[in-house]
Amino acid sequence: MEEKTGEARAAAREKRLQEKKALGASLQIVLLLTLLEFAFSPGLLIAGYFNIELGPLTPRSMPLPFAGAELALALAMLLASKNVLENGLRRLLRAPSADSLVLVSALSAVAASLLLMAKMYLEDVNLFHQLLFTPLGILLTFTLGGKYLEARLATREPRPLEKEGAEPQGTEEMRLEQEAARQKREEEAQRQKESEARYQELEALRAEERRRADAEARKERGEPPLDEENDEPTQKIDASEKKAAPAASAPLLAVTNNAALRFLVFGFLLAIAGAAFWQSMELDILSLAALFFATLFLACPAALFFAAPLTLPSALRKCRAQKIIISDAGIFDTLTHVSAIAITKSGGITEGRPFLATIVGEGLSDGALLGLAASIENGLPHPLARVLVSTAMSRGARFARVSAANSIPGQGVEALSYGRPVRIGKREWLQEEGVEVSNSLITKGDQFATKGKITVYLATGNSGKGILVFSDEIRRDVRRTIRLLEALNVQVVMLTGDSRSTAKRIAKEAGVSVWRSDLTPADKAKEVQLLQAHGHTVALLVSDPQDKEVFSKADVVISMTEEASDSDIIITSGDSAYIPQLLTLARRTAKSARLGLALAFVCSLLAIALSHASLFYLGDLRFLPLLSILPMLLGAIAMGLTPWRIKSFSFTPHTLDY
């Protein structure tokens, strides 16, 4: 599984930047060589056509030396495009990519031209104007140019939102809040690092113990002791993976690679069919072979490489206009495949702004309960903890002295107060820890839970002392969003760490039919993986930027707050209705690209048909170079016209519905 951390993204970006530089350099060289090639063949031919006497420079009198010079230029071009061609070769037999298509096409151009040169030499005819070296230069220029534009698109920084200008009200407050949140996050990160270190120590100790026990058991059984280094194999795998040749980055739209395979197969079929036809017409073998390779060359639409740079920017612009931040243009391709979305309850389904609704005490006053709870939670980053502390402060509850708290993710928190353990969290967890919770307390708690409230139990020693009941409103936009998602055939799953009863009620109110409750963060990650195991491409809608574990598993991470800066897509307006619309936009983008490719391919087919017609009616391939340059241009133009489907798309915010 690909890890989607900030570092991995930065590394990928660095790689793209280097690729871009290399592509830019190759592009310049190939462009220069193509221009030279142009001066050579069409230039000299036109001069000859107008009877401008160039003496020894006229290809009519000495075609072969000129062809040789052109060949030399063409070989230099191939050398300059080495990276693309090598990459194409590497993938040709395993999984042909767009680069493989270019490789086959480029070599075909050279092969066809060499055959024509052979014919020129053997039969003493002048076929100078049929050579495919200039079209080859154009093909390579288009390829490198498109790739360069794509790399530029991939490395563009997501533009930060305008800082100045009309700020919505309460921005200052929001900024302060965010600042505070950032500080909290940093503290939390520090704490997490410490606890991780502790955990690793513990793991190491446990592993040591296990090894020792293992060794002893073996000794008893009289088996020879195992090698100590049992984690060596994994290291070896790592090393070999690193040694593998540096593969080029994936294209921004996978559709280009998928289409390339089809073009390749079609090209071969057409070339074979054409050759078979002319064989029956008893065409000489050299012409036959030249035609075969020329067909292969024509079947490759150079527009393939313009698919991403010509269609994606309009989609990205649409997003930017709605203040949707897209971290990486490549994520659009993943979006087109999204078939399931996991939504965390707090913040995704509910507002994510819980408030303390009621306190149910048993043997402790409400004030004492609140004070004790707040003292334990003091300084913890959990949303419930923050609410407890601020509520306790505003109500003037007295804080108790407690030891440092130990929080268990998805369960609760424990601390020591006057030597006695005090715990606050889920009922099941408390009971597992040996806490007695009275039946009347359980009944009351369940009543609140079935109403969709979050119930947190507090216990001192091993007796339950009360329940803190939190309310978190359902988002107003969520029902519509879920309906829209289902209309797009996207499976919606709600994930929550809360209890079954609470989850059931919230899910029902929001219109979510599939939900999973009582999940720890690790369980949430597993749920995402389970969906993937069922063949889904999974988007994750998160509110809590701390759920790193789940983050790294999902294919796309969407969030509705800028706090979660690690996510792939941030909908800053916080309107969840944009999510289904984003999926629609992505699907349309892919469709546009596919349409453009289809048009480009039609241009190629037309060129192939015309070249056969020319052989049939005129008896030679005199228009071959023209017939190969024109479809490339037309294909690229067609590609540029397809984004009209994206331009007609517009986001409709949820509020318009009211």
Helix (H, G, I), strand (E, B) or coil at 537: coil
Q: Which neighbouring-strand residues pair with 540? A: 342, 557
Please, are residues 563 and 178 in contact by the beta-carbon 8 Å criterion?
yes
**Least Cβ distance, residue 385 to ligand ATP (angstroms):** 4
Tokens in use for 379? Answer: 């300084």
Q: Closer to ligand ATP at the Cβ: 18 or 406?
A: 406
Q: How many residues bind Cu ion (CB under 5 A)?
A: 4
Question: How far apart are alpha carbons 591 and 636 in whole angstroms?
Answer: 16
**Least Cβ distance, residue 453 to ligand ATP (angstroms):** 10
Helix (H, G, I), strand (E, B) or coil at 287: helix
Q: Closer to ligand ATP at the Cβ: 399 or 651?
A: 399
Helix (H, G, I), strand (E, B) or coil at 456: strand
DSSP state of 362: S
Site string for Cu ion, 265-284 (x = CB under 5 A): --------------------
Residues 374-413, interacting with Cu ion (CB under 5 A): none
- Span near Cu ion by CB under 5 A; candidates 63-71, 295-303, 322-330, 504-512: 295-303
With CB under 5 to 8 Å by kind, the binding choice for 20 among Cu ion, ligand ATP, none is: none
With CB under 5 to 8 Å by kind, the binding choice for 267 among ligand ATP, Cu ion, none is: none
Question: How far apart are alpha carbons 624 and 608 in whole angstroms?
Answer: 9
With CB under 5 to 8 Å by kind, the binding choice for 338 among ligand ATP, Cu ion, none is: none
**Least Cβ distance, residue 148 to Cu ion (angstroms):** 17
Q: Closer to ligand ATP at the Cβ: 377 or 575?
A: 377
Question: How far apart are alpha carbons 340 and 554 in whole angstroms?
Answer: 10
- 282 CB contacts (<8 Å, ≥6 apart)? none
**Least Cβ distance, residue 645 to ligand ATP (angstroms):** 37
Beta-strand (E) ranges in 472-623? 491-495, 514-516, 538-542, 556-559, 569-571
Other Cβ atoms less than 10 A from the Cβ of 142: the count is 23
Q: Closer to Cu ion at the Cβ: 27 or 356?
A: 27
**Least Cβ distance, residue 341 to ligand ATP (angstroms):** 15
Q: Which neighbouring-strand residues pair with 469? A: 358, 455
Question: How far apart are alpha carbons 380 and 83 in whole angstroms?
Answer: 52
Question: How far apart are alpha carbons 343 and 603 in whole angstroms?
Answer: 45
Tokens in use for 447? Answer: 């009543």
Concatenate the DSSP letters of all residues of 403-416 into one string.
---EEETTTEEEEE
**Least Cβ distance, residue 203 to ligand ATP (angstroms):** 23
Q: Closer to ligand ATP at the Cβ: 109 or 389?
A: 389
Query: Strand 538-542 and strand 355-361: pairing?
Result: unpaired
Query: Strand 556-559 and strand 412-417: pairing?
Result: unpaired
**Least Cβ distance, residue 410 to ligand ATP (angstroms):** 4
**Least Cβ distance, residue 139 to Cu ion (angstroms):** 5
Question: How far apart are alpha carbons 441 and 432 in whole angstroms?
Answer: 17
With CB under 5 to 8 Å by kind, the binding choice for 407 among Cu ion, ligand ATP, none is: ligand ATP
Q: Closer to Cu ion at the Cβ: 494 or 639?
A: 639
Site string for Cu ion, 89-108 (x = CB under 5 A): ----------------x---
Site string for Cu ion, 116-145 (x = CB under 5 A): -----------------------x------
With CB under 5 to 8 Å by kind, the binding choice for 413 among ligand ATP, Cu ion, none is: ligand ATP
Q: Which residues of the shown chain bind ligand ATP in the complex (CB under 6 A)?
A: 344-346, 377, 380, 382-385, 407, 410-413, 424-426, 454, 456, 496-498, 544
Q: Closer to ligand ATP at the Cβ: 314 or 407?
A: 407
Q: Closer to Cu ion at the Cβ: 153 or 302?
A: 302
| Long-range interactions of 12-19: CB distance < 8 A, separation 24+ | 12/249, 12/328, 13/155, 15/246, 15/249, 16/151, 16/154, 16/155, 16/249, 17/151, 17/155, 19/151, 19/248, 19/249
With CB under 5 to 8 Å by kind, the binding choice for 300 among ligand ATP, Cu ion, none is: Cu ion
**Least Cβ distance, residue 583 to ligand ATP (angstroms):** 22
**Least Cβ distance, residue 635 to Cu ion (angstroms):** 9
**Least Cβ distance, residue 510 to ligand ATP (angstroms):** 12
With CB under 5 to 8 Å by kind, the binding choice for 139 among ligand ATP, Cu ion, none is: Cu ion
Query: Strand 340-344 and strand 538-542: pairing?
Result: parallel
- Span near Cu ion by CB under 5 A; candidates 11-19, 300-308, 347-355, 468-476: 300-308
| Long-range interactions of 562-566: CB distance < 8 A, separation 24+ | 562/178, 562/325, 563/178, 563/181, 563/182, 563/185, 566/4, 566/5, 566/6
**Least Cβ distance, residue 243 to ligand ATP (angstroms):** 41
With CB under 5 to 8 Å by kind, the binding choice for 497 among Cu ion, ligand ATP, none is: ligand ATP
Q: Closer to ligand ATP at the Cβ: 96 or 348?
A: 348
Which residue of the chain is nearest ligand ATP when measured via CB?
497
Query: Strand 556-559 and strand 569-571: pairing?
Result: parallel
| 300 makes contact with Cu ion (CB under 5 A) | yes
With CB under 5 to 8 Å by kind, the binding choice for 639 among Cu ion, ligand ATP, none is: none
Question: How far apart are alpha carbons 601 and 595 in whole angstroms?
Answer: 10
Residues contributing to the site for Cu ion (CB under 5 A): 105, 139, 300, 302
